[in-house]
Amino acid sequence: MPLSTFIYSGYPTGMNLEIAGNVQGFKQQDGILTIKTAEAEARVYIYSPTIIRVSISKNFNPDDPSFAVIRQPLADFDFDESSANIDITTPALKLSIQKSPLRFNFFTAAGSSLSEDDARFGTNWQGERVTCYRRLFEGERFIGLGEKTGNLDRRSAAYVNWNTDAPNHTPESDPLYKTFPFFIGLHSGLTYGLFLDNTHKSYFDFGASTDEETSWFGADGGDLNYYFFGAQGVAKIIEDYTWLTGRMEMPPLWSLGYQQCRWSYMSADEVLNIAQTFRKKQIPADVMYCDIDYMDDFKIFTWNKKTFPKPKQMLDKLKAMDFRLVTIVDPGIKVEEGYKEYDEGIEQDYFAKYPDGENYTGYVWPGRCHFPDFFRGEVREWWGAAFTALTQPGVEGFWNDMNEPAAWGQNIPWIVKFGDKFMPEVRNAYGMQMARATYDGTRKIMGNKRPFVLTRAAYSGTQRYSAVWTGDNTGTDAHMLLGQRLVNSLGITGMSFIGVDIGGFSGNPTPELMVRWNSLGAYTPMFRNHAIQGSKMREPWEWGKNNEQTIKKDIEQRYKLLPYLYSSFYQSTQTGLPVSRTLAIEHSFDGNVFDERFQNEFMFGDAMLVAPVESTKLTEDVYLPRGSWYRLSSDKFYEGEQIVNVQAPLTDLPVFVKAGGIIPMQSVVQSTNEKGDGILQVHVWNGREANSFIYYEDDGVSYDYEQGIYYKRVISFNPIEKSLSLSSVEGSSKSRFMQLKFVLHGFDGVKLQEEIIENKSGEIEVKL
């Protein structure tokens, strides 16, 4: 008798454990292989040679909804049946479905085991809670799950997904604001990915509590619906995952500049004054923020008439200084008759409800609030259209906060309904649906202009609509390092455009920490300084003359790197590879990468390695992986695969460039609106291997690039032929750079540095 059958029948019935037992029959129709056992049904779909979906349920939802997945499965596929198994083979993968009892085991095409059900327990239910137990391989590591605390290697840790307003969270708190039920397993030199597409509260245990035998994942309800990724290489798995769930679109260029925020700048005068100070001090910046106090009594889509009496005038003045404005919006609509959004929401019945039809009321900043039901298309349209109150005066960025959704006391009752679902089933997707409504609405209103959308809560696929930030951190070194791990981990789960509150939201950072964190901010996809109400002012000039100079220098460095950064974002739009990349993406089987001393290091784009350093340390051990490296600030050369102890003064965060690295830069500008000197500086660091970089430009603000109006060329370095070349230009746009300058690093005796040449659109080649 198979063990699972034994356990199943042997359990006292009160435990209510049901294990998917033996296969009783199967059929294939319309691209779905349906397998029946006495307890459940499993459905298998193929999405591509490297992506197989398995969904197991006692009672399938006929709508089969997904907020994340945007692709369709193949219409048909072959399988082989033997007495013991049903085997599905693609060019890359084999799924062997064991019949008695039902088990799902994945292999490479060559037959190496990638991932297997735990032979004893497989998939089972306790009430509605469904869990899949899987074999834990020797030395298996796990990365992913997005915004999760803890180590880069998640082995021996357990996590819960339940989007939560988490003020005062610590480097150990779980859950936080977002849900990305996608992880990558690494063992035996092999890689696989698994995405549990289920918005219920979900659980992942990577061998935390099972005597190193079993890992498991599951959810409080719904189907055990997962996508298995079998590509070899973490980057390829990320590419597949973002093919399935979508990729970000090009962000507005201005949103990659320096962003200054605070809860709150209390008046239009204060906002303008801060913006002016940046210009006066010649510290580059692009974005000012208005937190909740710009509103009248925290009513969304209103302006405070006393403190922000003429929003358009303020925005015109900001625009004249080349600043853009981002304003916050929360989901909670204040209960107040006469307030437009409240009246309309009541009239049209747009708010989340108790089962008896009464609107749910919870407390947030405005006091008593109702919550828009973003799961309904007409509610999203209504919400999206309301942004004219912000876009008309000229706001271009929309900061979606408190959308876990947050209510004082945290727990929205489980009987509250969103769409036709109760809160527990869809809570984890609420923030994503709010971001979607905001993106769709503002994109429509703004016509050909790109909106910038930022959200705190998210679910897999949110990259299609919005950037994210990691919520209310604290001004400590531990939080700075945690923030970097969160950024690196979110990058594995398809989110490339990420920020953390530089300086820490709560508390007051020391000047040293502020300086250090700002240096790291220059190498963070979204670079935003933000602080809680009541904290000391945080702007770059609040830290003494010397520190101001260092902060300014690092912000200038950010602006120099914008051509490289914008091209790196383009890469994210094409392949899903994030801008900030844990070293585990490229060096997945190098144990040092997971060492707690080095786990925060990351690649910033293709060429730069950044090592975060606590503000109290002025030297640091850095692990340089395979390849050879140059320190960015000195061009000092290092061989890779070694730990090096380097100087790390507050003025010089350890940043390294890979040998062969190509980094297009520009001279310092005060904002992304400024033209600059028109010279694109192509920096190249000598190396033994050929390398290339896809350089991308467009107007930075519109969707014209979707019509082919962009400028793209491949920059190549060939050490054998001793040449640097630029392919002829693809796309119908002109470059904003009229001239080119090659800047060489580590090339003894080669003198090209001073040469400035015309940036013509045909092929360009220079011999070294």
Which candidate, 515, 489, 486, places its Cα nearest to that of 502? 515
Q: CA–CA separation, 643 vs 114, rounded Å?
A: 31
The amino acid at 210 = T
Helix (H) or strand (E) holding 448: none
3-state helix, strand, coil in the chain (%, to 5): 20, 30, 45
Least distance CB 506 / ligand GLC (angstroms): 9
Least distance CB 405 / ligand GLC (angstroms): 12
Alpha helix locations (H) across 362-404? 377-385, 388-391
Among the listed residues 8, 229, 241, 263, the single contact to ligand GLC using CB under 6 A: 263
Helix (H) or strand (E) holding 173: none
Residues 6+ positions from 29 with CB-CB distance below 8 Å: none
Least distance CB 500 / ligand GLC (angstroms): 11
Nearer to ligand GLC, 499 or 746 (CB): 499
Q: CA–CA separation, 147 vs 689, rounded Å?
A: 35
Check binding of 291 to ligand GLC (CB under 6 A).
yes
Least distance CB 639 / ligand GLC (angstroms): 43
Q: What is the 3-state secondary structure (H, E, C) of 567-591?
A: HHHHHHHHHCCCCEEECCCCCCCCH
Q: Print the binding letters for residues 527-546 with ligand GLC: x by CB under 6 A, - otherwise.
A: ---x----------------
Check binding of 328 to ligand GLC (CB under 6 A).
yes
The amino acid at 757 = I
Nearer to ligand GLC, 148 or 456 (CB): 456
Among the listed residues 292, 423, 487, 583, the single contact to ligand GLC using CB under 6 A: 292
**Beta-carbon count within 10 A of 104 CB:** 25
Nearer to ligand GLC, 153 or 341 (CB): 341
Q: Is 401 a catalytic residue?
A: yes
Least distance CB 661 / ligand GLC (angstroms): 35
DSSP one-letter string for 269-314: HHHHHHHHHHHHHT----EEEE-GGGSSTT-TT---TTTSS-HHHH
Q: Print the binding letters for residues 412-451 with ligand GLC: x by CB under 6 A, - otherwise.
A: ----------------------------------------
In the range 652-671, which residues lie near ligand GLC by CB under 6 A?
none
Least distance CB 401 / ligand GLC (angstroms): 5
Q: CA–CA separation, 77 vs 62, rounded Å?
A: 22
Nearer to ligand GLC, 455 or 735 (CB): 455
With CB under 6 A as the rule, give the number of residues binding ligand GLC: 11
Nearer to ligand GLC, 53 or 528 (CB): 528
Buried b / exposed e over 369-408, threshold 16 CB at 10 Å, is: bbbbbbbbeebbebbbebbebbbebbbbbbbbbbbbbbbe
DSSP one-letter string for 632-678: TTT--EEESSEEEEEE--TT---EEEETT-EEEE----SSTTS-TTS
Check binding of 166 to ligand GLC (CB under 6 A).
no
Nearer to ligand GLC, 527 or 693 (CB): 527
Q: CA–CA separation, 728 vs 748, rounded Å?
A: 29
Q: CA–CA separation, 655 vs 88, rounded Å?
A: 46
Q: CA–CA separation, 486 vs 172, rounded Å?
A: 12
Nearer to ligand GLC, 118 or 291 (CB): 291
Whether 148 contacts 177, CB under 8 Å = no
Among the listed residues 150, 257, 471, 503, the single contact to ligand GLC using CB under 6 A: 471
Least distance CB 8 / ligand GLC (angstroms): 46
Q: Print the binding letters for residues 498-527 with ligand GLC: x by CB under 6 A, - otherwise.
A: -------x----------------------
Nearer to ligand GLC, 69 or 328 (CB): 328
Check binding of 404 to ligand GLC (CB under 6 A).
no
SS3 state of residue 507: coil
Nearer to ligand GLC, 143 or 328 (CB): 328
Nearer to ligand GLC, 121 or 399 (CB): 399
Whether 575 contacts 239, CB under 8 Å = yes
Which candidate, 327, 326, 427, 409, places its Cα nearest to that of 371? 427
Helix (H) or strand (E) holding 330: none
- Residue, CB closest to ligand GLC: 263
Q: Is 404 a catalytic residue?
A: yes
Q: CA–CA separation, 639 vs 626, rounded Å?
A: 8
Nearer to ligand GLC, 111 or 534 (CB): 534
Check binding of 290 to ligand GLC (CB under 6 A).
no
Least distance CB 453 / ligand GLC (angstroms): 15
Q: CA–CA separation, 351 vs 368, rounded Å?
A: 13
Residues 6+ positions from 187 with CB-CB distance below 8 Å: 137, 138, 139, 140, 141
Least distance CB 289 / ligand GLC (angstroms): 9
Indicate which residue of 147, 472, 477, 652 is catalytic: 472
Nearer to ligand GLC, 499 or 576 (CB): 499
In the range 90-149, which residues lie near ligand GLC by CB under 6 A?
none
Least distance CB 390 / ligand GLC (angstroms): 15
DSSP one-letter string for 457-505: SEETTGGGT-EEE--S-BSSHHHHHHHHHHHHHHHHTT--SEEEEET-S
In the range 563-622, which residues lie near ligand GLC by CB under 6 A?
none
Least distance CB 501 / ligand GLC (angstroms): 7
Nearer to ligand GLC, 35 or 292 (CB): 292
Q: CA–CA separation, 171 vs 473, rounded Å?
A: 9
Q: CA–CA separation, 370 vs 364, rounded Å?
A: 10
Least distance CB 479 / ligand GLC (angstroms): 14
Q: Is 316 a catalytic residue?
A: no
Least distance CB 480 / ligand GLC (angstroms): 17
Indicate which residue of 249, 401, 554, 697 is catalytic: 401
In the range 167-196, which residues lie near ligand GLC by CB under 6 A?
167
| Cβ-based burial of 501 (10 A; exposed 0-12, middle 13-18, buried ≥19) | buried
* Tokens representing residue 385 in the block: 């259209």
Helix (H) or strand (E) holding 628: strand 628-631
Check binding of 8 to ligand GLC (CB under 6 A).
no
Among the listed residues 117, 140, 401, 440, the single contact to ligand GLC using CB under 6 A: 401
Indicate which residue of 18, 153, 286, 404 is catalytic: 404
Beta bridge partners of 611: none
| Cβ-based burial of 758 (10 A; exposed 0-12, middle 13-18, buried ≥19) | exposed
Check binding of 472 to ligand GLC (CB under 6 A).
yes
Active-site residue set: 401, 404, 472
Binding site for ligand GLC (CB under 6 A): 167, 263, 291-292, 328, 401, 456, 471-472, 505, 530
